[in-house]
Amino acid sequence: MMKKELIECIPNISYGLNDNMLHSIVQNLNKIQGQKLIHMDSNEGANRTVLTLVGNRTGIRNALLSLFQITSQNIDMRKHQGAHPRIGMVDVCPIVPLQGISLKETLDFTRSLSQEIAEQFNIPIYSYEHSQDQSYRKHLPQIRKGGYEGLIEKMKKPEWKPDFGPLPNSEENILAIQKYGATVLGVRPILIAYNVSIKTDNTKIAQQLAHEIRSIGDGKGNRGAFEALRAIGWYIPEFEHAQISMNFLNYKITSPLEVYDNLKEKCKSLNIEVIGSELVGLIPQEVIVKAGEKMAKKLDRTELNTDQLIPLGIDYLQLNAIKPFNPELHILEKVIKNVMNIELSL
């Protein structure tokens, strides 16, 4: 039996205020058939909102066109400030095939969608990950290097011409790029966005810890401890502490559990307390269950089922310390089951 087509789409908006603009986005998305908004995560300090949509190609297409329509009317990147790196109002928009659709079909869909968005809204689109063949511009940090502030000068270089959309070769296009920035859009695997909070306001300590764990290390040839991991250190005024903010590009190669343990050891040696951890978006159930198994072993509890292991995993990772973590709202498989009545097996 053919599984129902299911695509995950995670647009990241350079806007973190929980106000009428975000409410308008939610109201409009809730009217669009063929997709569901299953999660929204806003952070005022980062000035960023991460939306998670799941649906078929038609539903995701219509949802993104609606999103770009609203954001283009309400966000002006010339006025944007925030802790999170960004190059545009809809900064990055990953597309993840979950089931019932091949990688090729997803790539074809994403290419068509990128062209439509670029033409309709006069926004440069950079393809990335599976959607990009050129190695020097395949990954998000490569494309986003220089930030929004350096975008126009970067785009003038032939090697940084966008894959779709306008060039800064006319006054009209320059004004559009100044207002909207650019969007990075492409097909990638499941990514986990996960932050560990530490009891200090010293951003340099958080940055040093990020350099020690992330794959690229310090950027000077000294690689970090883990593969398939991106990390930065920053201070979040909203929380009044520093964080190591991470993207796990392949959680089966490097998991939040092992990095969390590593950071706890590093912080212990620095006499800094780990306050807890924070998820941005959704997380596969397997990660929480494995943390639960570690906690169960620590407590000498055996023969626990999945439902019993999940709260132990949440406790082990201190996922309720920064903001509430509800497995029914934050575990990917549970959310899709609750919202769409679809059993997802990853």
Does the annotation count 84 as an active-site position? yes
Q: At a CB cut-off of 8 Å and minimum separation 6, what does 94 contact?
A: 8, 9, 10, 129, 185, 186, 187, 188, 191
Q: Are 178 and 78 in contact (CB under 8 A)?
A: yes
pLDDT one-digit tens code per residue, 76-89: 999 998 888 999 99
pLDDT at 263 over 80: yes
Predicted confidence at residue 1, as pLDDT, reads 59
Please give the Cα distance from 176 to 229 (Å, whole number).
33
| Residue written as token pair 């395949």 | 138
Predicted confidence at residue 215, as pLDDT, reads 95
Reported as type and span, the H/E element at residue 180 is helix 171-180
Q: Are 276 and 325 in contact (CB under 8 A)?
A: no
Chain-centre distance for alpha carbon 225:
22
Which domains, and CATH codes, for the chain? 6-187 (3.30.990.10), 192-340 (3.30.70.670)
Q: What percentage of the chain has pLDDT greater than the value 70?
A: 99
Lowest mean pLDDT among 102-111, 187-196, 231-240: 231-240
pLDDT class of 46 with cuts at 50, 70, 90: confident
276 Rama class: left (phi>0) / alpha (psi -120 to 50) / beta:
left
Q: Are 286 and 346 in contact (CB under 8 A)?
A: yes
Predicted confidence at residue 2, as pLDDT, reads 67
Chain-centre distance for alpha carbon 66:
20
Predicted confidence at residue 206, as pLDDT, reads 97
Catalytic residue among 39, 84, 130, 139: 84
Please give the Cα distance from 281 to 278 (Å, whole number).
10
pLDDT one-digit tens code per residue, 208-248: 999 999 999 988 888 999 999 999 999 988 889 999 999 99
pLDDT at 132 over 70: yes
Please give the Cα distance from 175 to 113 (Å, whole number).
23
List the structure tokens of 220.
């000077």
